[in-house]
Structure 1
Amino acid sequence: MASSEKTTVFGRPVPTDGVPNLYSGTPVVKWATPEAGIDNLGIHSWDTFAIPGVGEFDVEFDGYVRVVRSEPTESEWAGAEVYTNLIEMKMTGESEELGTITVTLNPTCLSAGQIRNPFDPYAGEGPSAKACRMAVGCLFDMPKLGKTLFNKEPVILTIDDVRSIPPAGAPGKGQIYRMLPLHDMQNPDGEPVGYLTSLRFNMGGYLAPERFA
């Protein structure tokens, strides 16, 4: 689905035509602004779900993401900003109560973000770290519930202290205020059937092409 066909847009579209895929072996250089690319990266996360009438569950996930990056706005690190779109994601986690949960992108959403300089009036000399944020629309397939859940409000993934693009190996967190409502895909206008209450993640390094076959 092209970005122009998305019904929910969480940020600026980034073109993918002609943008090279980058896999394991691609160098990650601190304080450098690489050309546009599609980063094929591992990701690991720890999520907490609250399901009314069922319980609260901590689930550990592992998987991959594919992120397209724009050309940097400047060639020098100090002033450069980069726009990103999450174009593919697949993560799986095991829960005795909820079964094998699979998390993928909601195809109706444009999940988008930015890597930029945070406002810091006390920044000193030399290179300073950037901040990364991504607003994401997800599908949570929960077979033991017999439901696929989705978020109407974006999951905001953030990484601070970004010293390389992509921020491979960096820890991040989901900015969630107490609970993020999750709705049933079969009854999208109904009341939430679950909540995401906590999310931490670690952005992994480049993966081999075989992982995405």
Structure 2
Amino acid sequence: MSTPTQKPSVVYGRPVTTDGVPNRYSGTEVQPWTTPEPGIDNLGISSIDTFAVPGVGEYTVPFDGYVRVVRSEPTATEWADAEVYTNLIEMRMTGESEELGRITVTLNPECLSAGQIRTPFDPYAGEGPAAKACRMAVGAIFDMPKLGLQLINKEPIILTIDDVRQIPPAGSPGKGQIYRMLPLHDIRRPDAEPVAYVTSLRFTMGGYLPEEQIA
């Protein structure tokens, strides 16, 4: 398995250690409204992304793959008060379209992709446990060999999941918070003008995967 850069040049949130943190694979039980012990969640993920390439067109591509997410110790034992910090430590998703060819999405090792699971402030919350919200700021590499391009996002992709009632939020739909278009830059010329954009991103976090599928 790949390991993240030890000292990434771009840090999108709080680092979470992986030292001594156990991997969680299929067969792991998840209890709703319960704060779990730290773990590295090995989860399936699928998404539908839309890319706009100036002068070429706009294309929607389905992706499928996996992510590995390390979770911190919860800040409290009770669900209502607990916050959990997360780092995305590995990702691999593949998709294909006739126009763009096969696309592979992996983490940019120069970015610390980080997030948090917490209860949003709600002055109108009623009785009973409140759902949490999950967000993750991600730096990715989009490998498009048919176009001869490797593209990176210099602004973070913000992945969000609402109505989180269990940790991890397996099976939950989420979306990328993208305002109209997220620039993608050629990794060889990161300070030049963008060569493409992500205009939409919708994803579903899958359940735990068997260890052999990740390996």
TM-score, L = length of structure 1:
0.98
The counterpart of 2:179, out of the listed 177, 180, 196, is 177
Amino acid at match of 1:118: P
The counterpart of 2:79, out of the listed 77, 80, 93, is 77
Amino acid at match of 2:37: E
Give 2:103's aligned residue: 101
Question: Does residue 134 of structure 2 align to residue 151 of structure 1?
Answer: no
Give 1:133's aligned residue: 135
- Which structure 1 residue ranges, 4+ long, deviate > 3 Å from structure 2? 1-4
Give the deviation of 1:188 after TM superposition: 0.9
CA distance in 1: counterparts of 2:167 and 2:21, whole angstroms? 16
CA distance in 1: counterparts of 2:19 and 2:56, whole angstroms? 45
User: Comparing 2-11 with 147-156, which one deviates more in the overlay?
Assistant: 2-11
Question: Once the two structures are superposed, what CA deviation does each residue of 1:153-196 show, in whole Å capped at 9, x if it has no partner?
Answer: 00000000000000000000000000000000111111000000
Amino acid at match of 2:212: E
Secondary structure at the residue paired with 1:5? coil
Q: Is the 8 A contact 1:3 1:13 kept in 2?
A: no
Amino acid at match of 1:124: G
Give the deviation of 1:53 after TM superposition: 1.4
Give the deviation of 1:121 after TM superposition: 0.3
Secondary structure at the residue paired with 1:144? helix
Question: Once the two structures are superposed, what CA deviation does each residue of 1:96-149 show, in whole Å capped at 9, x if it has no partner?
Answer: 011110000000000000000101000011101000000000000011110000
Count of residues in correspondence between the two structures? 213
CA distance in 1: counterparts of 2:18 and 2:146, whole angstroms? 36
Q: CA RMSD in A?
A: 0.9
The counterpart of 1:33, out of the listed 19, 26, 35, is 35
Amino acid at match of 2:38: A
CA distance in 2: counterparts of 1:78 and 1:154, whole angstroms? 28
